[in-house]
Structure 1
């Protein structure tokens, strides 16, 4: 199968004053197109840093990343932003909806910025898929946490991304709501054939994906199919 993400010899260090902190050490892995892939580990293990590097939001100190057939090391910031806009979706733990926009506007505005025709119609279709068509005119403050994350899912899938990066997508939700959001995430993933890369500390969520990469102290300690893990 085609590789949609390839990470080779990746290392990342942060500096604070005279001190340096190495967050990632010699990270190597590959993700197949259409795969469901989890990155797990305790707090401080480097999960979110790794996700940001893989998505081209930050640059490593050494090593290389190939995403959707393009080497990120060769791209300037504008080219990286274009790659993300065309191919990447994001879901975050804290939803990151714009508070002054309605649910529909939060989904449709990214499409309008890309000059997609019938952006509002597409937005409504996506809100219907996540069960929020009747709440399209509500603002984030008028929605529950689970509803906000469902809007965030609709927005993330609006550009039919090749890869969706989800950072602790159920971290701020209770167990029952989290399970509903997980199912929606997987259903939308199936419908659109998106490659799904989830950063989570939730072992049960990770085991629902096909592959689990486990980090500890910035190093890979296992990289297995979920059945073997």
Structure 2
């Protein structure tokens, strides 16, 4: 299988005043194309920091990341942004929808930025897939949390990403709504052949993926392939 993400000896630290805080140390793993992969661990273990580094939103202090066959450490900020726009999708815990745009407009924006002349049509199709064809003209404030996350799901898949990063995608949802969103996420992921990497503290969600990487105090303590 093709490796879509290779992480080698990754390290990341921050300074708090004069004190150096090591967030991640000696992190190495790889993810295969079209796989489902989960990063788990307690609060403060470095999960979200690792996700940001893998997605090329930030740069490590040491080590290397190869994302979609591209060594990200050799890229300028503009080149990394271009890589994300072309290859990467994101889903966040707090939805991050634009409040002044309708559901349809929120999903169409990434497509319009790419110059896609069929942006509205594709956005409409994606919103239909997530069961929101009757909410196209609604603004985020007029949608429930679950509906907002479904709009975010449609937006994440709008540019047909090679790899999708989801940071606590059910963190702001009740259990029943979260379950429906996760089912949609996995269904869309399978249908569109995307690689899925999820950060979560939800063990039930983690066990739905093919691989679980467990962090503790910035180090890998477990790297498990799940029996399916």
Q: TM-score, normalised by structure 2?
A: 0.99
Per-residue Cα deviation, 1:29-73 (whole angstroms, up to 9, x for no partner): 000000000000010000000000000000100000000000001
What SS does the aligned partner of 1:133 have? coil
Aligned mates of 1:58, 1:15 — CA distance in 2: 16
Aligned mates of 1:147, 1:19 — CA distance in 2: 43
Shift of 1:17: 1.7
**Which residue in 2 is equivalent to 1:107?**
107
How many residues are aligned here?
Answer: 228
Shift of 1:117: 1.7
Shift of 1:138: 0.3
**Which residue in 2 is equivalent to 1:219?**
219
**Which residue in 2 is equivalent to 1:60?**
60
Aligned mates of 1:113, 1:176 — CA distance in 2: 34
Per-residue Cα deviation, 1:162-192 (whole angstroms, up to 9, x for no partner): 0000000001100000000000000100110
Describe how 1:127-206 pairs up with structure 2 within 5 A: 127-206=127-206
Aligned mates of 1:101, 1:46 — CA distance in 2: 33
Aligned mates of 1:162, 1:42 — CA distance in 2: 28
Per-residue Cα deviation, 1:170-218 (whole angstroms, up to 9, x for no partner): 0110000000000000010011000000000000000000000000000
**Which residue in 1 is equivalent to 2:91?**
91
1:5 aligns with 2:14: no
Aligned mates of 2:15, 2:90 — CA distance in 1: 27
Shift of 1:110: 1.2
Q: CA RMSD in A?
A: 0.8
Aligned mates of 1:225, 1:109 — CA distance in 2: 37
Q: Which residues of structure 1 form unaligned runs of 5+?
A: none
Aligned mates of 2:161, 2:188 — CA distance in 1: 11
1:33 aligns with 2:36: no
Aligned mates of 2:159, 2:34 — CA distance in 1: 16
Shift of 1:109: 1.2
Q: Which residues of structure 2 form unaligned runs of 5+?
A: none
Give 4+ residue runs of structure 1 displaced > 2 Å after superposition: none
What SS does the aligned partner of 1:161 have? coil
